[in-house]
Amino acid sequence: MKNRLFELIQEKQQQERRIISASDVARESGVHRFTINNWLKGDISRVDEVTAIKLCQYFKCDLSELVYIEGLKES
């Protein structure tokens, strides 16, 4: 499982024309900074429902825009 947190941060920076740090994401989304750092490192083995909801709300995105399974092909 992979996530697009880094890309979503970059997109939000462009939209809002400001630098957004991991601390900003943590503070503004309500997700712990340690969790944000783990996501940015790709160090997640499962997706916590509360965390996913908070990040999707913060980035105004669907879950499928936040996480994906690498190598999974649609049939």
Interval 12-54: pLDDT, tens: 999 999 999 999 999 999 999 999 999 999 998 899 999 999 9
DSSP, collapsed to helix, strand or coil, labels residue 67 as strand
DSSP code of residue 71: T
Where on the phi/psi map is residue 17: left (φ > 0), alpha (ψ -120 to 50), or beta? left
Q: Is the pLDDT of residue 75 over 60?
A: no
Helix, strand, coil percentages in the chain from 3-state DSSP, rounded to 5: 60, 5, 35
Q: How confident is the model at residue 74 (pLDDT cuts 50, 70, 90)?
A: low
Please give the pLDDT value at position 61: 98
**Residue ranges of domains in the chain, CATH in brackets:** 2-68 (1.10.260.40)
